[in-house]
Amino acid sequence: MHKIIILFACGTLVFEFNARSQGGQPSQDPVQRSADSLFFNQQYDAALAKYREVLAANTSAPAVVYARTAFTNHYLKNYKEAMKWYDVVLKKQIGAPMKAQLYSRMAMTYSASGEKDKAFIFLDSAIANGYFNVYEMENFKDYENLRKDTRFKTVSEKVTGNAYPCLSRPEARQFDFWIGDWEVYNNLYPNHRVGTSRIENISGGCSILENWEAFQMANSGKSQNWYDPSTKKWTQLWIGSGGGAQYFTEGEYKDGAMRFKYTRPGPSGTMVTGNFIFYNLGPNKVRQYQDVTNDGGKTYQVVYDFIYIRKK
């Protein structure tokens, strides 16, 4: 998998492509390393001189050198020179992450030059290659001309979709009914308060975090809940203050409830299995139920049966 490291320095966002995306190891060329150091410290005039030195000595320099030469010219507002180098890089064998970066910078260049139509064309190409930098879209001055255009909202939403794919994945939203602040009661004894729980949407919508605190007991815990598009199932990992961890797997939302399975080794070589279910009882109420069996399903024991009431 290609990786991108994002570096922040003095308010400017600079991209570095992992060496694997270039098909090799980080450069051992001391001149290139010096150029890179200057580049990341935003000393663009000095960096450009060093990159020119690298390219003069090595006509087969890696594509990232050509790309940074283009970026450096862009940051120095040498837009025509930057465009020349962008074209050079695009003719090389490069992966989607670098294409996304290049097309986004070409879009910025055209935007800064007042050529909005061309800017949107290249921005669409960047998005098609996975461009996901919402921060740039919202803050970089190079996009300022585009932000005033009615087309900007649509492309901005697409970039957000690349950055946070789970937000628009319907299956990843199946457990959202549990999100909120709750008072929790024992369903067998309705006035028996057992705790509070705050359920949060985290990791860009890709996970749901449970924060449990028992009432008048030294007991707390957290769980992470996520949908895996490769298995098309939900998983919960619970870790409580008493130690140990529990996995609930094979999660599916059906018949108005999120339904997990539970399996763990039991005594004398037996297996303990069971059900772990969250019933969606409307906007302000959730029932959490767990049972287990150690005789293959002949009999079941209720572990707990809770009712969540949303705090007003």
Report pLDDT digits (tens) over 103-147: 999 999 999 888 999 999 999 999 999 999 999 999 999 999 999
Q: Are 152 and 41 part of one and the same domain? A: yes
Judge whether residue 238 has pLDDT over 90: yes
Which structural domain range is residue 112 located in?
A: 4-168
- Mean pLDDT to the nearest integer, 199-220: 95
Q: Are 95 and 217 part of one and the same domain? A: no
Which pair of tokens denotes residue 220? 């707390």
The residue that leads in pLDDT, 305 or 19, is: 305
Q: Are 151 and 186 part of one and the same domain? A: no
Confidence tier at 22 by pLDDT (50, 70, 90): very low
Per-residue pLDDT at 27 = 56
Per-residue pLDDT at 266 = 82
Per-residue pLDDT at 185 = 97
Confidence tier at 59 by pLDDT (50, 70, 90): confident
Which pair of tokens denotes residue 25? 């190891």
Pick from 196, 224, 211, 226: which is nearest to 306 by CA?
Answer: 196
Q: Are 263 and 145 part of one and the same domain? A: no
Q: Are 197 and 118 part of one and the same domain? A: no
- Mean pLDDT to the nearest integer, 77-106: 92
Domain of 31, CATH number, reads 1.25.40.10
Per-residue pLDDT at 287 = 98
Per-residue pLDDT at 15 = 43
Which pair of tokens denotes residue 139? 């803050």
Per-residue pLDDT at 211 = 98
Domain boundary among 153, 168, 183: 168
Q: Are 182 and 106 part of one and the same domain? A: no
Tally of domains in the chain? 2
* Other CB atoms within 10 A of residue 181 CB: 14
Q: Are 188 and 292 part of one and the same domain? A: yes
Please name the residue that has the structure tokens 């369903």: 187
Q: Are 215 and 138 part of one and the same domain? A: no
Share of the chain above pLDDT 90, in %: 79
Report pLDDT digits (tens) over 147-205: 999 999 999 999 999 999 999 999 999 999 999 999 999 999 878 999 999 999 999 99
Computed over every residue of the chain, the mean pLDDT equals 89
Q: Are 160 and 19 part of one and the same domain? A: yes
Q: Are 197 and 142 part of one and the same domain? A: no
The answer to whether 209 touches 224, Cβ cutoff 8 Å, is: yes
Q: Are 12 and 159 part of one and the same domain? A: yes
Domain boundary among 132, 153, 168: 168
| pTM summary value | 0.77
Domain boundary among 132, 147, 168: 168
Q: Give the lowest-confidence range in 62-66, 259-263, 282-286.
A: 62-66
Q: Are 182 and 289 part of one and the same domain? A: yes
Q: Which residues have CB under 8 Å from 310's CB, separation 6+?
A: 180, 181, 182, 283, 284, 285
